[in-house]
Structure 1
Amino acid sequence: MSENVAHALSGAGGGIISMVLTYPLITVSSRLQVQKDTKGADAYKGGKDTIVKILKNEGFRGLYSGLNSAIFGIALTNGVYYYFYESIKAVFEKIERPISVIESMIAGAIAGSATVLVTNPIWVVNTRMTTRKEPLDENEKQKHKKLGTIKTISKIINEDGIKSLWQGVIPALILVINPIIQYTVYEQIKARIEKFKKLGNLDFFLLGAISKLVATGSTYPYIVIKSRMQLRQTDDARYKNTWDGLQKIIANEGYSGLYKGIASKLLQSVLTAAFLFMYKEALFKLSVKILSLMKIKNVEALFKLSVKKLSLMKIKNVQ
């Protein structure tokens, strides 16, 4: 049990570090994903153009819109995912043989589905905060006051109802295949390399990068649809479901519309996963030590309490 908690803590910690390091790329890819009109004067023409326009119109802070909700979201997402994933994996590993591809996929599917249902509201809020364009002009700022995480949640519920916090949950559940592919590739390559050498930080970095590249590259259209469904939907542009979103994007924007922002997303995803796996392995060892010390302290406290109670009982018996 303590090891599962250690995995959850290290996953959350690694996720926070990797999120902070790569967040501007998340902002860029998110804005490109949700953009439907590419011909307007303010339209983003690509990754570089997006960065230039954000800096020009919103300042450096614009690249970090919604960072607070993202940090909370990634910590909870990774914590929940790793706890369930390692718990289920531990059951399979009791058979005393290397975990198979199918078993790894089952563990990933259960852990991913649980994570999506718990954390979808956070990512709805984050998507809206990340894609909201903040004016740089002070007069405009007064007219359009920036909303924080709590006020954004309140606005979503007031305008669209509490159900809207689970917008895009179906494509998000389909995207559970992303971590399944990622962790299956990661576990299988890792197991093979460990037969020949002891893995170091660089190995974990590269394994994380390769596994995420495969996963994101193969599931990107669903990432675009999920991002758009998490925005506030107008009646004329509403996606009724994942299939409807897929058809409308192809009809209105062509097949290239399904891959908007893929360059920055791939770079962000690969770097995030690489940093995550590298830092997670280091944080896992630290988490185990901390939990062990806490356990020892709890045992010592319990022992002292027991001794104290026994002493009081002896005093009463003597009296």
Structure 2
Amino acid sequence: MASTRNAADMPASDKTAPPQKSLFKHSFAGVAAGGISTAILYPLDLVKTRYQIHENSPRAFRSLGQAFASIVKSDAGGSRYNLRALYQGMSPALYGTTLSWGLYFLFYEHAKSFYAEQTVLPAWAGHFASGIQAGAMCVPLTNPIWLVKVRMQVQGTHPSQVPYKNVANALQRIVAEEGVAALYKGVVPALFLTTHGAFKFVAYEWLKTEYNDHIGTPLGIPQTLVMGAGAQAFASTATYPYQVIKTRLQQGGPSADKYKGTWDCTKRMAQLEGLRGFYKGLTPNLIKVLPTGALIFAVYEYVYQLLDGPK
């Protein structure tokens, strides 16, 4: 990637390009970014989810290494290592990330071009509003896929639960056994998590602006990777408790009806697990999301510029 233009100057608002064509490029670049990052880093997402569902019990993982070892052994019956266990639930994760990022960049760039014309708003406010708006539009469209991803990732942790065969089977069984509303378990904390994307894009856009203003050299892949990781770290740490609550609400098996809702889950976690309970799995999550954030933005910028062509 030879250079990356300031986000404010990207072709979402380029008057020389048809808006729908430009938005399609943003969306396709988002699909590529989501798919590539998931394919590379999925095992860390699985470990993070397993961390999040454990409360104060002997089954809780003691370290990241022990978590990996436990998953590959327990999912193989304890007699041998099964590395495929680290990719359990990857299909819905791929569907979810490609759909989510494709839609997110589409909605974000469309909203950003609108807010850029509102001269009363500072740039960061327009970016934050665009992130909230894009996230809120994505949540109802993608929550069922994320629910299935969590259910398939925790298969094997509840021996009494009959495993799902695939994504279609999971969707069919969830609707048949729990009703259509079950597909939207965790949607409230997911809506709160729209702040995650907003924080991330505000931080990323700010870092790019600061770089361009104070350094001015072409922004290449190394710089984009660092900025993406930094923006991701800020957003993930700030909003991580919402992720834990959402995962607790979405897990199936005997624990499915443990919480009555978002507030009940929050209150019980605070009482039984304290503040640390809201940050269970933060370490594997950061290990996963820092390279994820870096890859998302680097791949997105690279693919977008390939599609946009030379200027």
Q: Could you say which TM-score interval applies, normalised by the shorter chain?
A: 0.7 to 0.9
Q: 1:286 corresponds to which residue?
A: 306
Match of 1:123 among 146, 150, 165: 146
Is the CA contact 1:38–1:44 (under 8 Å) kept in the aligned structure 2?
no
Q: 2:212 corresponds to which residue?
A: 194
Q: 1:154 corresponds to which residue?
A: 172
Superposition deviation, residue 228 in structure 1: 0.9
1:269 aligns with 2:289: yes
Counterparts of 1:249 and 1:149 in 2: how far apart (Å)?
30
TM-score, structure 1 as length reference:
0.83
For the structure 1 residues 38 and 145, does the alpha-carbon distance in structure 2 shift closer, same or farther, using more than 3 Å as the test?
closer
Counterparts of 1:60 and 1:271 in 2: how far apart (Å)?
21
Is the CA contact 2:249–2:256 (under 8 Å) kept in the aligned structure 1?
no
Q: Which amino acid aligns with 2:181?
A: K
**What is the aligned-residue identity percentage?**
30
Counterparts of 1:110 and 1:236 in 2: how far apart (Å)?
30
Match of 1:8 among 27, 33, 50: 27
Superposition deviation, residue 232 in structure 1: 2.8
Is the CA contact 1:27–1:64 (under 8 Å) kept in the aligned structure 2?
yes
Superposition deviation, residue 238 in structure 1: 2.8
Counterparts of 1:236 and 1:104 in 2: how far apart (Å)?
36
Counterparts of 2:238 and 2:83 in 1: how far apart (Å)?
32
Q: Secondary structure at the match of 1:101?
A: helix
Superposition deviation, residue 254 in structure 1: 2.3
Q: 1:173 corresponds to which residue?
A: 191
Is the CA contact 1:69–1:122 (under 8 Å) kept in the aligned structure 2?
yes
1:251 aligns with 2:271: yes
Superposition deviation, residue 147 in structure 1: 1.6
Superposition deviation, residue 267 in structure 1: 1.2
The structure where helix makes up a greater share of residues is 1
Which is greater in Rg? 1
**Worse-superposed segment, 110-119 or 229-238:** 229-238
Counterparts of 1:82 and 1:182 in 2: how far apart (Å)?
13
Q: 2:4 corresponds to which residue?
A: none
Is the CA contact 1:46–1:261 (under 8 Å) kept in the aligned structure 2?
no
Match of 1:27 among 30, 46, 50: 46
Q: Secondary structure at the match of 2:40?
A: helix
Superposition deviation, residue 36 in structure 1: 2.1
Match of 1:110 among 116, 133, 136: 133
1:203 aligns with 2:220: no
Q: Secondary structure at the match of 1:50?
A: helix
For the structure 1 residues 117 and 201, does the alpha-carbon distance in structure 2 shift closer, same or farther, using more than 3 Å as the test?
same
TM-score, structure 2 as length reference:
0.85
Q: 2:243 corresponds to which residue?
A: 223
Superposition deviation, residue 242 in structure 1: 2.1
For the structure 1 residues 55 and 232, does the alpha-carbon distance in structure 2 shift closer, same or farther, using more than 3 Å as the test?
closer
Q: Which amino acid aligns with 1:172?
A: A
**Worse-superposed segment, 96-105 or 124-133:** 96-105
Counterparts of 1:204 and 1:154 in 2: how far apart (Å)?
41
Q: Secondary structure at the match of 1:254?
A: helix
Q: Secondary structure at the match of 1:245?
A: helix
Match of 1:79 among 102, 125, 128: 102
Q: Secondary structure at the match of 1:45?
A: coil
Q: 1:45 corresponds to which residue?
A: 62
Long gaps (5+) in structure 2: 1-19, 76-81
Superposition deviation, residue 233 in structure 1: 7.1
Long gaps (5+) in structure 1: 290-319
Q: 1:214 corresponds to which residue?
A: 234
Counterparts of 1:218 and 1:134 in 2: how far apart (Å)?
29
Counterparts of 2:38 and 2:121 in 1: how far apart (Å)?
31
Q: Secondary structure at the match of 1:36?
A: coil
Q: 1:314 corresponds to which residue?
A: none
Is the CA contact 2:197–2:235 (under 8 Å) kept in the aligned structure 1?
yes
Q: Which amino acid aligns with 2:266?
A: L
Q: Which amino acid aligns with 1:65?
A: Q
Q: Secondary structure at the match of 1:133?
A: coil
Q: 1:57 corresponds to which residue?
A: 74
1:90 aligns with 2:90: no
Superposition deviation, residue 131 in structure 1: 1.4
Counterparts of 1:32 and 1:133 in 2: how far apart (Å)?
14
Q: Which amino acid aligns with 1:205?
A: L
Q: CA RMSD in A?
A: 2.4
